[in-house]
Homo-oligomer: A and B are copies of this chain.
Amino acid sequence: MASLENGQIRKAEIGKTTNPMVSGLLCDMYQFTMAYAYWKAGKHLDYAVFDLFHRKNPFRGEYTIFAGLEECIRFTANFHFEESEIDYLRTILPPTCEDAFFQYLQSIDCSDVKIYAIPEGSVVFPRVPLIRVEGPVLIAQLLETPFLNLVNYASLVTTNAARHRQVAGNEKILVEFGLRRAQGPDGGISASKYCYMGGFDATSNVDAGRRFGIPVRGTHSHAFVSSFMGLEEITNRSLQYSSGRQVCNDFVSLTQEWLRKLQAVSSLRGYFRETNRSELAAFISYAMSFPTQFQALVDTFDVLRSGIPNFCAVALALNELGYKSLGIRLDSGDLAYLSNETRKFFCIVEDEFAVTGFKELIITASNDIKEETIDALNKQGHEVDSFGIGTHLVTCSAQPALGCVYKLVEINKHPRMKLSQDIEKVTIPCKKEAFRLYGIEGYALLDIMKGENELAPKEGQRLLCRHPFSESKRAYVVPQRVEQLFKCFWAGNSGLPQEPLPSLTEIRERCKAQLKAMRSDHLRGLNPTPYKVSVTASLYEFIHSLWLSEAPVGELR
C-alpha cells in the first residue's frame, strides 16, 4: 500500500509514474486544440464533471473488471508539461495561437482536480461511471486520452484473465505466456500485470516479475532440444544426490539404464521404441542444471514415442538421487488425448517401479489456448493441470478493444448530455452517485445511479429502480446491503480525505472477492444473464426532460 499521512497520499510519492512512456503529450491532438479554444474563450476554468464509462461488456459477457486506476492516479499526480513539450506543441498548433496560452499550459497541474472512482479490481457494468473527474474543463479535458488509454486495455485484459480463470476453475495453475505476441514491450508488461490481477498465478515475463513482484515461470524451448546433437555432448556426467552427501558419477548412464527399463515394461510397449537421442541429451542436460525443478517440453519430435519416455527416464534417474521432478509441457497436438495418454504413462511408471509422485506430475499445456479451448477440454475430459496462455489472452483476440468513453456530464453545475442518432451513444447527464444493492442471499442485485442531491438508498428501504432509457423496465428493490461505489482517489488541494492506493495483491484479492459476490448466471460463458443497471425515478425524469429540450424537432414532408 502506498504510504499515507492522515489519509493523504503525498504527491511526490505517487507522482513517480511506473511507466516512463506516459507523458502529458500521450494525448490526442484535439485535446490541445480544445484547450486553446477553451482558454481563448475564457472558459478554461469552467468547472466540469466528466464520466469515464463503458457502454458494453466485452467478450459477449455480462461483466467487466475495472483496472488501470492506479496508473491514472499516478498520471494525475505527475501531470505537467515540460518546456520541451510546450516547445513541440508550439510547432503543431497554428502560428496564430497566442503565446500566453503556452505560458498558461506550462503552469498547470492537477491541484484543482478531484477524482472519484470505483476501486480497482471491482466487477463493473456498462453506463455506471468507473471514474468521475471534476475540475477546470481545460485540465479535465487533457486527462481524457491518457485515462482512456490507461483504463481500456487494462480493464479488457483483466476481464479476459478473470474469464479464463472462471472457465479453468480455481484448481488449475494459470501462467501468462504472452510477451512475444503482445502489442509492443509495454503491452506485454501491462498484460502480465493485469492478467495477474484478474486471477492468473504467474507470468513468463521476467521484467513484469521484477516490476510487480509477480511469480515468474519458465522451462525451455524446442530450440534448446534441437541445440543438442547427442549424449556425447554431455562432458560432465556427475550429479550430486539431493541429500548432498553422495555423488552419482554417471548420471547419463543412469538415465539410459532407466530408459532401457522403461522399454522393457510390457504395458508401455505400445507407446514407443527408440527415442530421440538429442532430445534425451537435452533433457539430461537440463535436469542436471535444474535437478530440483525438472520440467521438460516433450513435443519437439513426438510426444508419446519420444518426449514422455525420455522425460520419464530422466525423472526416474533423478528420483533415484532423491529429486522430485515437476512435470512436462505440451505445446502442440491434441491436448486432451495427449494429456490423458501422458497421465496413463505416468501412472504405469509409478505402479511398475513403485516410485512416488509420478501420478501427480504436472502436465502443462501451452498451444494456442483460449477460453473456448479450456471449455472444450473440460467437456472432452483431460489431464492438464496447468495452462500457459499467451496470444489470445494478451491480445484479447475475442474482442481486442474495450470501448470506454469519457463524457462531459456537467459544466458550471449545468447538466450536459450527448445526444446521438445511436441510442447507445446517449449519455446520462449530471454528477451522479452510484450504489450496488445486495439481496438476501448476499449477491449483488443491481447498480443504481442517483443525482447528487438525492438521498442515498438505504438498507431495508424499498426503492424504485428504473432502466435509464426504457420506460417500461422498472422494479422495486429492498436492499439488504447498500454499497457506495465511488471513492475519492485524488483530492488535489481540496483537503478532502483520499483513498490509499492498494497493492497489486490487494487488488487481485478484491477482484476474487467481488466475483464471488456475483450470481454465477451473470458470470457464465454461455448466455449469461445481464446484470441490471438502473437510475432513480427522479434521475429518470430528469434525463428525459433534458433530452426533449435538447433534441431538434424533425419535420416530415
Contacts and interface: CB of A to CB of B under 8 A. Distances in A.
Interface of A: 19-23, 25-34, 36-38, 40-43, 46, 48, 50, 85, 88-89, 92, 94, 96-97, 137, 141, 144-146, 148-150, 152-154, 157, 177, 179-191, 204-207, 209-210, 216-224, 226-227, 229, 233-236, 270, 272-276, 285-286, 288-293, 299-303, 305-306, 332-333, 391-392, 395-397, 399-404, 406-408, 411-412, 414, 416-422, 425, 550-555, 557
Given A21-B20, A226-B416, A332-B422, A207 B276 contact: no
A185 B186 contact: yes
B30 A189 contact: no
Given A21-B21, A276-B550, A236 B94 contact: no
A67 to B, nearest CB: 12
29 contacts: A26-B179, A26-B185, A28-B180, A28-B205, A36-B289, A36-B290, A37-B290, A40-B288, A42-B236, A43-B233, A46-B227, A50-B223, A94-B290, A96-B292, A141-B224, A144-B223, A153-B183, A153-B187, A181-B403, A183-B190, A185-B186, A187-B187, A222-B418, A223-B408, A227-B416, A299-B420, A305-B554, A391-B403, A397-B399
Most chain B CB within 10 A, of A23, A33, A137, A406, is at: A33
A191 B21 CA distance: 14
A226 B38 CA distance: 12
A552 B33 contact: no
A392 B417 CA distance: 27
Nearest to A29: B218
Contacts of A553: 273-274
A402 B181 CA distance: 7
Given A21-B185, A40-B289, A30 B218 contact: yes
Nearest to A146: B185
B184 A183 contact: yes
Contacts of A190: 183-184, 187
Contacts of A407: 222-223
